[in-house]
Amino acid sequence: MPKIVFRDTGKIIEGVEAVKEFLEKYGITYERWGVERLPENLRKNYDLSKEEQEAIIQAYKEELDRLKKEKGYITEDIVVLSEKTPNLDDLMAKFKREHHHTDDEVRFVVDGSGVFPVKIDGQIVEIHVGAGDLIVVPAGARHWFELDENKKIKCIRVFKTPAGWEAIYNENEKATMND
Ligand SMILES: [Fe+2]
């Protein structure tokens, strides 16, 4: 179940509808797609062949096509992070640095879980997502990513161009993002 935690006050918002309603106010999309349609091996396997990756993407074709049409995304792929990922600690240290992108950051969680802390009105708001959750962090929103105690996540990423999801660490560069 998705959950929002306000890091300063500890206030919590839980559940699909409440989380969706809160995030919508700040331009962050949340949708529940679920994982019931996926066979166990596609859910639990973190060492996926090209065919298995494609099978996961095909299982969500309807939702992905709708999202791509609505928001102008072009392509998608699968990303996995687990204790088997080489240099996981270095990668996590990199993901933990506050940044934004010139395109939206789109993640559908196939398995595992993680936290997207986002800065909203100067507050750090943690968005906790797990299997079956889709989140769209809009272009320009300052955020970062953390694994939780599960230490693994497998996601479908949806994007326009690789350049658009490069991390921009300096907040002041936001002013020029629409040039
Ligand atoms: Fe990001």
- Does 177 score more than 70 pLDDT? no
Q: What is the mean pLDDT of residues 34-61?
A: 97
The Å distance, Cα 153 to ligand 1 centre, comes to 15
The Å distance, Cα 28 to ligand 1 centre, comes to 13
* 8 A C-beta contact, residue 33 and residue 111: no
- 101 occurs within a structural domain: yes
Distances (CA, A) of 112 to 43, 100, 140, 141: 9, 23, 26, 24
DSSP states of 6-22: ETTT--EEESHHHHHHH
Instruction: Tell me the CATH number at 137.
Output: 2.60.120.10
- 94 occurs within a structural domain: yes
| Predicted confidence (pLDDT) per residue in 95-152, tens digit | 999 999 999 999 999 999 999 999 998 899 999 999 999 999 999 999 999 999 999 9
The residue range of the domain holding 59 is 31-113+130-171
The Å distance, Cα 11 to ligand 1 centre, comes to 24
pLDDT band at 176 (very low <50, low <70, confident <90, very high): low
**Which pLDDT score, from 0 to 100, does residue 164 have?**
80
**Nearest residue to 14 via CA among 22, 24, 31, 2:** 2
- 119 occurs within a structural domain: no
The Å distance, Cα 95 to ligand 1 centre, comes to 7
- 2 occurs within a structural domain: no
- 51 occurs within a structural domain: yes
- 125 occurs within a structural domain: no
The Å distance, Cα 137 to ligand 1 centre, comes to 8
The Å distance, Cα 106 to ligand 1 centre, comes to 9
The Å distance, Cα 145 to ligand 1 centre, comes to 7
The Å distance, Cα 98 to ligand 1 centre, comes to 8
**Which pLDDT score, from 0 to 100, does residue 178 have?**
45
Domain count for the chain, please give it: 1
- 85 occurs within a structural domain: yes
Question: Tokens 């797990």 belong to which residue?
Answer: 130
- 123 occurs within a structural domain: no
